[in-house]
Amino acid sequence: MEHLAAQMLSRRVLEMEESATLRMAQLARNLAAKGNKVINLSLGEPDFDTPDHIKDAAKKALDEGYTKYTPVAGLMEFRQAIARKFKRDNNLDFTPNQIVVSNGAKQSLANLSMAMLNEGDEVVILAPYWVSYYEIVRLGEGTPVVVKAGIEQDFKVTPAQLEAAITDRTKMILFSSPCNPTGSVYSEKELRALADVVARHENVFIISDEIYEYISFTGKHISIGAFEHVRDRTITVNGFAKGFAMTGWRLGYMGAPLWIAEACTKIQGQTTSGANSFAQRAGMYALESDLKPTFEMRDAFLRRRNLTLQLLDEIPGFLCNRPQGAFYVFPDVRYYFGKSDGKITIHNADDLAMYILENALVATVSGSGFGADECLRISYAASDEDLTEAARRMKEALGLLK
Ligand code: PMP
Ligand code: GLU
């Protein structure tokens, strides 16, 4: 079987890494299915249900007959609502035909990769980065160029680092703020400085992934695309999964220069067509209605961030920054490398994540998939009880490593 797979499958898939987040979530499910009481802090998914008024809008849309194909780029009234949202929240000016709605922000990113990259084109990815960026770039036959920021710089890349990474083959830079996996948020000043670097290089585009926009503890969210000098060179990606607790609905979107939006629509038209029709109507309603439930979830995440930091502070060797958004902490765990419980020696974060899963029954994700193999990602989108119990179990299991 393995021989046949190696012979028959494409180079594209054979060389692709499986998503580390999804893999860990599956390992946790497998352990739980065997009767283990696993606490799953691996998957980046709000533990809240989608707010009722959004679910009601989807039910209403079904009754109203939104059961057919929509235009590939999305229902016009939905794209109009997204254009209004971009203006209202982000000071971005997009016409509805510059907006492409997709099956999640993941597909928006994949469309961009397919539509913009040729073999050998370089994409500068600011690390730590979200797991799928690297492989999505490679799917488009691009070359990922990783620029890394460690915990000592709050996981934020400096303009000088970005400048040094740009070559005449660079086509775009890709990052998220608030960041998955670090929770770091680039300030307005920091974003402007990055934009200044990009502006100096003709034909370099920015893909700004703002899916955690509404889960930010810093006050007003800043979009890099709002800076005049990179306005025409920025593609802003967003989605409903995080801020509206709609992961399973599969709904994301981008605002882009018209020719890029048209190219992405062309790709999507030959692969998946328009996103789910009644989800689009519900998404439209979500954007246009009171954001109070969204901000209540954000406040809950902030409270849990504080709790999680307090709990992790009790665990030796978990060096944390103070995340300003999203719902992850990303401790530097090098302290444990080289330690052993007498049976297993921890060489890296992959070993540590597996050790914690097997000995504490807590699922986390190794930083290696995020371009930071000295770290561990812990999602705090979980109940206070689970967070407290997970910390207790981790402390106990880690205490056996000498
Ligand atoms: N970008 C980031 C930074 C993410 O964490 C995720 C995870 N869901 C996505 C994009 C993809 O989101 P979606 O579920 O809308 O495809
Ligand atoms: N984005 C989430 C995460 O980082 C969901 C899983 C995924 O799509 O990778 O865990």
Q: What would the pLDDT profile of 33-50 be if each residue is shown by its tens digit?
A: 999 999 999 989 999 999
Q: Which atom of ligand 2 is nearest to the CA of 247?
A: 5
Convert the pLDDT of each residue in 336-345 to its tens digit: 999 999 999 9
Mean pLDDT along residues 160-179: 98
Q: How far apart are CA 25 and CA 44, in angstroms?
A: 10
Q: How far apart are CA 312 and CA 376, in angstroms?
A: 12
pLDDT of the residue at 174:
98
Convert the pLDDT of each residue in 294-330 to its tens digit: 999 999 999 999 999 999 999 999 999 999 999 999 9
Report helix, strand or coil for 5: helix
Q: Report the CATH number of the 2-49+293-398 domain.
A: 3.90.1150.10
Q: pLDDT confidence of 3, banded at 50, 70, 90?
A: confident
Tell me the pairing of strands 39-40 and 362-363.
parallel
Strands, sheet with 205-209, edge to edge from the N-terminal-most edge strand: 99-102, 252-255, 234-239, 205-209, 170-176, 122-127, 143-148
Q: Which atom of ligand 2 is nearest to the CA of 211?
A: 1
Q: Is the CB of 183 under 6 A from ligand 1?
A: no
Reported CATH class of domain 68-288: alpha beta
Q: For the chain, give percent helix, strand, coil, nearest 5.
A: 50, 15, 40
Protein residue with its CA nearest to atom 12 in ligand 1: 105
pLDDT of the residue at 300:
98
Convert the pLDDT of each residue in 10-21 to its tens digit: 999 999 988 889
pLDDT of the residue at 2:
78
| Substitution site in 26, 132, 250, 380 for ligand 2 pocket (most atoms within 8 Å of beta carbon) | 132
pLDDT of the residue at 290:
96
Tell me the pairing of strands 170-176 and 143-148.
unpaired
Q: Which atom of ligand 1 is nearest to the CA of 45?
A: 8
Residue spans of the domains in the chain: they are 2-49+293-398, 68-288
Report helix, strand or coil for 134: helix
pTM: 0.97
